Structure 1
C-alpha cells in the first residue's frame, strides 16, 4: 500500500504540474500577442520619428530659415532624441518576445516530457481499488484525501519557489541598474562642480550602462509577473505588480535620453529604488508563504505514514 500511495502521489503531482504548464503556456502566448501588437505600434512610431529627422536634415527653404534663426539644430536634436527613445523601446520589446519564445518552447518540451499521465493514473487507481477491497474502506478514503492535499501543496511549493527565483534574479538586475545610476549621479556632481571632458565621458558611460541593463530588467519584470500570476490566489500579495510592466517605457520616454541633467539621474534612481523595495517586499512575502507550505506538506506526510503504518 505504501509503494502504491507513493506512486499515486507522484502521478498526482505530475498531473498538477501539467495543468500548471498548460496555464503558463496559455498566459505566455497571450502575453506574446500583446507584445506583438505593442511592437507593431512602436515600429510605426519609430518610422514616424525617423521620417521627422530625415525631413529636418533635408535642404529646404523652411530648414534654411530655421538654421538662420538658430532653431533647426534645436528641433533636430529633439527629433533625434525621440527617435532614439522609440528605438530603445522597440529593442526592449524584441528582447521580451525572444525571451517569451524561449519560455514557450521550454514549456512545450516539459509538457511533452510528462507523457500520458491520465493512462498512468487510471492504472494506479485500478490497482488501488483492488487493494482497498481487502482493507478498511475508511482508511482508504482518508489516504486518498491526504494524497490529494499533499499533491496540491507540493505543486504550490514549486510555483512559489519559481516565483522567488524570478524575483531574486530581478532584484539582482535592478541593483545593477541602481549602481550604474548611482555612479552616474556621483560623476554628475563632479561634472557640475568641476566639469571637464573626462568627467562628462565617465558620467555618460555609466548612463549607457544603465540603458543596456534596463531592457534586461524589463524582461525579468515580465517573467516575475507571469510567475506571480501562477501563484495568484495562493499567496498574500497586496502589491500591484502590473504597474511595473511599463518600467522600460518610463525610462525610454525621454528620460534616459535627457539624463545629462542631474535631476533626471536622481529621478531615475528614485524609480529604481522604489521598484527594488516593492519587489523585495513581494519576495519576502513569498518566502514566508513557502515556509508555511513546507510545514503543511511535512504534517500531511507524517499523517499519511502514520495511517499506513497502522493499517
Structure 2
C-alpha cells in the first residue's frame, strides 16, 4: 500500500513541477508578447516614415531637383529603399514571432487546463498516506518519505534537463542548416565577384534567402530553449546568459539588407552564426554533464529506497 502511494506521489510531483514550469513559461511568453507588440508598433511607424522619404525622392520636389543637380539622387534613393527593405524585413520577422508566441501561449493554456486540479490530487494522496502510516505505525516511514520526495524531485529535474537538451539540439540543427547555405552563398558570391553574372547572383541570393529562413527557425527554437533554461538556471552548476541568447537573430537581421553584394557581409554573418552555434554547443555540453550526474544520483536514491522497503 505504502509503495503504491509513494509511486503515485513521485508521478504527481512530476506533474506539479510541470505545472509550475508551464506557469512560469506562460508569464514569460506574455511579457515577450507585449514587448513584441510594442516592437511591431514602432517598426510600422518607422516603415511609414521611411516609405514617405522614398515617395518624396521618387516624386518631384525641390530637394530631388537639388540632389539631381549634384548627381546624388540615385544614390540617395537607393539608400532610402534599402532602409525601407530593412525595416520591412524586421517587421515581417517580428510579426512571425508574435504569431508563434500566440500559439505557444494557447498551447500552454491547454496544458495547464489539464493539470487544473493537480494540487487537490496531490493532497488527497498525502492524506491517504498519512492515514496509512498512522494506522500501521511504520518506523521507517520518515526516511522513506524523504527518499520518495528526493526521487520525485530528481526525476522531475532530470526531465527538465532533457527537455532543455532537446530544445538546444533543435536550435543547433537550424544553425547548421543556416551555416550550410551561407557557405554556399559565399561560394557563389566569390564567383559573382569574378564576373559570374546574373545567374550566379540569383543563386547567391537564393542561398541567402534559405539561410535567412533557417535563422528564423533557429530563433523560434531559441525562444523555447531560453524558456527551458530559465526553468533550470537556478539549479544547474553553470553560467547561462539567458537574455543574450535571443539577441543573436536581431544582430543578424539588422545587417541583412546591408549591401549583400559585398562579400565581406556574407562572411560576417556566417562567422556570427558559427559563433552562436559554438555557444549553444558549449551550453549543451554542460547540460549533458549535469544530466549524467543527476542520473547517477537518481539511481543511488532509487537503490536506497528499494533497500529500505525490502528491509521493512
Please tell me the TM-score bracket, short chain as reference: over 0.9
Partner of 1:13: 14
Partner of 1:119: 120
Counterpart contact for 2:26–2:105, Cα < 8 Å: yes
Could you list the per-position Cα deviations for residues 147-192 of structure 1 after superposition, in whole angstroms to 9, with x for gaps in the alignment? 1111111121121111111111111111111111111111111122
Counterpart contact for 2:230–2:242, Cα < 8 Å: no
What does 1:186-201 align with in structure 2 at a 5 Å threshold? Answer: 186-201=187-202
Partner of 2:167: 166
C-alpha separation in 2, matches of 1:209 and 1:124? 53
- Give secondary structure in 1 for the equivalent of 2:293: helix
- Give secondary structure in 1 for the equivalent of 2:140: helix
Partner of 1:96: 97
Q: 1:243 to 1:115 in 2, by over 3 A?
A: closer
Counterpart contact for 1:184–1:204, Cα < 8 Å: yes
Partner of 2:248: 247
What does 1:1-311 align with in structure 2 at a 5 Å threshold? Answer: 1-311=2-312
Superposition deviation, residue 260 in structure 1: 0.9
C-alpha separation in 2, matches of 1:222 and 1:235? 19
Higher mean alpha-carbon deviation, 212-221 vs 138-147, is at: 212-221
Could you state the TM-score of these two structures normalised by the residue count of structure 1? 0.94
Higher mean alpha-carbon deviation, 65-74 vs 262-271, is at: 65-74
C-alpha separation in 2, matches of 1:123 and 1:191? 71
What count of residue pairs does the alignment treat as equivalent? 311
Superposition deviation, residue 61 in structure 1: 2.6
Q: 1:267 to 1:16 in 2, by over 3 A?
A: same
- Give secondary structure in 1 for the equivalent of 2:247: helix
Superposition deviation, residue 80 in structure 1: 1.0
Higher mean alpha-carbon deviation, 140-149 vs 219-228, is at: 219-228
Superposition deviation, residue 135 in structure 1: 4.1
Counterpart contact for 1:32–1:100, Cα < 8 Å: yes
Counterpart contact for 2:85–2:257, Cα < 8 Å: no
Counterpart contact for 2:9–2:152, Cα < 8 Å: no
Counterpart contact for 1:39–1:94, Cα < 8 Å: yes
Gaps of 5+ in 1: none
Counterpart contact for 1:187–1:203, Cα < 8 Å: yes
Counterpart contact for 1:239–1:282, Cα < 8 Å: yes
C-alpha separation in 1, matches of 2:222 and 2:14? 28
Counterpart contact for 1:184–1:207, Cα < 8 Å: yes
Gaps of 5+ in 2: none
C-alpha separation in 2, matches of 1:82 and 1:185? 24
Runs (4+) of structure 1 exceeding 3 A deviation are 134-138, 254-257
C-alpha separation in 1, matches of 2:47 and 2:58? 17
Superposition deviation, residue 136 in structure 1: 4.8
Q: 1:54 to 1:213 in 2, by over 3 A?
A: farther
C-alpha separation in 1, matches of 2:25 and 2:242? 17
Q: Cα RMSD (Å) of the superposition?
A: 1.7
Higher mean alpha-carbon deviation, 32-41 vs 83-92, is at: 32-41
Counterpart contact for 1:82–1:254, Cα < 8 Å: no
- Give secondary structure in 2 for the equivalent of 1:258: coil
